[in-house]
Amino acid sequence: MRPFLVVVIVLLAVVVMMNGLAAWDRARHEARIARAASAFRPGLALLGYRDTDERRFQKARLAVIPRPRIVAFGSSRVMTVSTAMVNVAPDEFYNAGLSGGTVEDFIVLWSLLRDGGKAPDVAVFAIDAWLFNESLEQVRWLMWADEVARFMDAGPLSYGGISLSHLVLQWYRTKEFVSFSVTKTSVRELQRRLAGRRRQGSDLISALDRQLVRETHVEGRRALRADGSLLYERAYVEQSSDDVRRDAISYAATELGGLRNFRWNAEREHRLEALWTDLVRHRVAIVAYIPPYHPAVWAHLAQDQRARMALAAIIDGLRRLSDRAGAQFVDLADPAAVPCSEREFYDGVHASEACTRRVLGRALRPVGSLTPRESLR
């Protein structure tokens, strides 16, 4: 029995040592990413954003930005929303939008803000209808599936004045030091390091080191501002309305707005409710809206019975969820509700700056002039 116990202890010691060494090396690498991200200040723009890992980028930026008063969450459809559009001072707004951003992404980004003491006054959610289609494969968020699981495991409870989310986080961190599955990952990371291969996140460090320019020097190229908002390239913005309409019709016919074979995703609804409940617990005002479609896309969806029924179910579900969570929700899927014309879209789903400003005017109306946190309680 004693030799067996010695072997177990030695194996555990090796596991802890390997995981600890990998964690130390990973922390040093994350610190280098954070230093690079902190150089991205208001007035600058990043040209190489499309060549970086968006999710890793947002994680790095949220670690170094000041506490914003307003944060926008959503997919690429929200990414053009900027500080100027919401009419606040520099550093008071941050756009946490992501290409293909889902509820799970929102959970992790909010957790980073919350745990970093940066809970905003207002959270703005641009909710894509396809988020709730279980038939539509959505896998980009899986890179931080563990973080989502931790958030959902924690729930709203607390013990002895310490939040359960904090306790769960500490438990997961402790458990990782004695996890054999984590050891496999640790060994791969160390092997990659010893082999001199580029590490995940190295592209971000390189981009922030070499491709930051003054915003005035972007000169019609696609770039990301320091507040997280996206500047589209001139060629994309200046497409003819006929070209945009053809693209919109094609998108509607082939993709059906991501609503083809629609099945309600109850798990994602549950996660969104857990997220909004946590935001409200931290006294954050929630504003949510469905962004408008290009009129040609909207007309196609309105004529398709399956899409029409799916949209009706999604809008009804979001209204009921908003009522339960205490969020403000407005349905702006129909461009006439904003209103936005055909000339105010870059493709089937991405609206121009002028249209987006009106969308924000409608969506943010419930919180008025976005006064400080005390008046939102």
pLDDT (tens digit per residue) in 207-248? 788 899 999 999 999 999 999 999 999 999 999 999 999 999
Cα–Cα nearest to 54, from 144, 166, 154: 144
Instruction: Kindly tell me if the per-residue pLDDT of 350 is higher than 70.
Output: yes
What is the rounded average pLDDT of the residues 77-88? 96
Q: Choose the weakest-confidence range: 144-153, 201-210, 280-289.
A: 201-210
pLDDT score of 37:
80
Q: Choose the weakest-confidence range: 151-165, 174-188, 247-261.
A: 174-188
pLDDT score of 89:
94
Residue with the bigger pLDDT between 11 and 286: it is 286
Query: What Å distances lie between residue 41 and 11, 188, 219, 222, CA to CA?
Result: 47, 35, 19, 18
Beta bridge partners of 94: 71
What is the rounded average pLDDT of the residues 338-354? 97
Task: State how far the Cα of 297 lies from the Cα of 347, in Å rounded to an integer.
Answer: 10
Task: State how far the Cα of 234 lies from the Cα of 74, in Å rounded to an integer.
Answer: 23
Average pLDDT over the chain, rounded to an integer: 84
Q: Using one digit for the tens of pLDDT, what is the confidence trace for 313-334?
A: 999 999 999 999 999 999 999 9
Q: Using one digit for the tens of pLDDT, what is the confidence trace for 120-153?
A: 999 999 999 999 999 998 888 888 888 999 899 8
pLDDT score of 51:
75
Amino acid (1-letter code) at residue 157: L
pLDDT score of 215:
94
Query: Longest Cα pair distance anywhere in the chain, in angstroms?
Result: 80
Instruction: Kindly tell me if the per-residue pLDDT of 339 is higher than 80.
Output: yes
What is the rounded average pLDDT of the residues 159-183? 48
Cβ atoms of 112 and 67 within 8 Å: the answer is no
Instruction: Kindly tell me if the per-residue pLDDT of 342 is higher than 70.
Output: yes
- The pTM assigned to this predicted structure is 0.82
Q: Using one digit for the tens of pLDDT, what is the confidence trace for 9-66?
A: 655 555 555 555 555 455 555 667 777 788 899 999 999 777 788 998 999 999 999 9
pLDDT score of 191:
58
Any idea where the domains of the chain sit in the sequence?
49-181+223-376
What is the rounded average pLDDT of the residues 92-108? 96
pLDDT score of 101:
95
pLDDT score of 210:
87
Whether domain 49-181+223-376 has CATH 3.40.50.1110: the reply is yes
Cα–Cα nearest to 258, from 135, 345, 351: 135
pLDDT score of 199:
56
